[in-house]
């Protein structure tokens, strides 16, 4: 069974409320995405393995720690791009690979149009970034691609998830860890999260809603 971490913190509650508000400007919306992604990433990286490293400070010698794994940050285009910068701030040595998908509005299923992963030499840990986990289709497609690549430890970071999407993801990828700021109860007839926040990609990039 997948581990689902609904990260609880007063700052998450505050920033999430601003994010959901339909009156929040695109500029502030982007800032809130970055803030929430940082808070999620702090939890999602709490168990990364390290090895000892001997260093010398200006005062003396000591033994510290450094990460001992190869990490990949994998945003799902386009909305996932809004979460990349906070992860890079915490993991400056991480690789960034991109998966492009769009939602078929007739079927609400993902269609892959771009995949930029290296041949062979998979990462040790892959963080899949998508602000909205609605039906779970796009995230599951990304996880399938990363699993074929050979990444053994896959983790999903989403700002808001819908309960049906979480349940589907845990069924199909029981080994994956899921980190979210909130789990909303349902999807509407158009497969949008309710209460949700609308279309994250449109709000991040200040584009009109797709019809």
Helix (H, G, I), strand (E, B) or coil at 185: coil
Specify if 63 maps to a domain.
no
Instruction: For the chain, 211 residues long, give each residue's pLDDT as a single digit of tens.
Output: 568 999 999 999 999 999 999 999 999 999 999 999 999 999 999 999 999 999 999 999 999 999 999 999 999 988 899 999 999 999 999 999 988 776 666 666 666 667 777 777 889 999 999 999 999 999 999 999 999 999 999 999 999 999 999 999 999 999 999 999 999 999 999 899 999 999 999 999 999 876 5
Determine the pLDDT at residue 57.
Answer: 97
State the chain's maximal CA–CA distance in angstroms: 65
Specify if 200 maps to a domain.
yes
Look up 202 and say whether it is catalytic: yes
Determine the pLDDT at residue 179.
Answer: 97
Number of domains the chain contains = 1
Residue pair 102/113 in contact (Cβ under 8 Å)? The answer is: yes
Look up 107 and say whether it is catalytic: yes
Specify if 64 maps to a domain.
no
Specify if 176 maps to a domain.
yes
Residue 206 region, left (φ>0) first, then alpha (ψ -120 to 50), else beta?
left
CB atoms inside a 10 Å sphere around CB 150: 12
Specify if 54 maps to a domain.
no
- Catalytic-labelled residue, pool 20, 155, 199, 203: 199
Specify if 210 maps to a domain.
no
Residue 11 region, left (φ>0) first, then alpha (ψ -120 to 50), else beta?
alpha
- Catalytic-labelled residue, pool 38, 43, 78, 202: 202
The pair phi, psi for residue 124, each rounded to 5°, is -80, -40
Q: What's the start-to-end Cα distance of the chain, in Å?
A: 36
- Catalytic-labelled residue, pool 50, 107, 171, 207: 107
Determine the pLDDT at residue 119.
Answer: 77
CATH number for position 23: 3.40.50.2020
Quote the domain boundaries for residue 161.
Answer: 3-46+69-205
- Catalytic-labelled residue, pool 103, 145, 155, 184: 103
Determine the pLDDT at residue 17.
Answer: 98
Specify if 21 maps to a domain.
yes
């Amino acid at each position: 069974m997948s581990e689902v971490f609904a990260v609880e913190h007063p700052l998450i509650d505050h920033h999430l409320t601003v994010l959901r508000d339909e009156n929040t400007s695109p500029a502030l919306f982007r800032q809130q995405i970055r803030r929430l992604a940082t808070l999620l990433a702090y939890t999602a990286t709490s168990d990364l393995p390290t090895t000892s490293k001997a260093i010398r400070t200006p005062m003396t010698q000591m033994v510290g720690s450094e990460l001992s794994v190869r990490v990949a940050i994998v945003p799902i285009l386009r909305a996932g791009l809004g979460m990349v910068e906070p992860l890079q701030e915490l993991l400056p040595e991480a690789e960034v690979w991109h998966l492009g998908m769009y939602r078929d509005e007739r079927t609400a299923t993902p269609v892959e149009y771009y995949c930029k992963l290296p041949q062979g030499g998979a990462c040790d840990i892959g963080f899949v970034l998508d602000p909205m986990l609605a039906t779970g289709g796009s995230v599951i497609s990304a996880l399938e691609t990363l699993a074929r690549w050979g990444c053994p430890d896959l983790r999903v970071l989403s700002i808001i998830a819908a309960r049906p999407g979480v349940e589907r993801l845990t069924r199909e990828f029981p080994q994956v860890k899921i980190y979210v700021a909130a789990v909303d109860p349902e999807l509407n007839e158009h497969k949008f999260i309710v209460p949700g926040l609308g279309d994250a990609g449109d709000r991040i990039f200040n584009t009109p809603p797709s019809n």
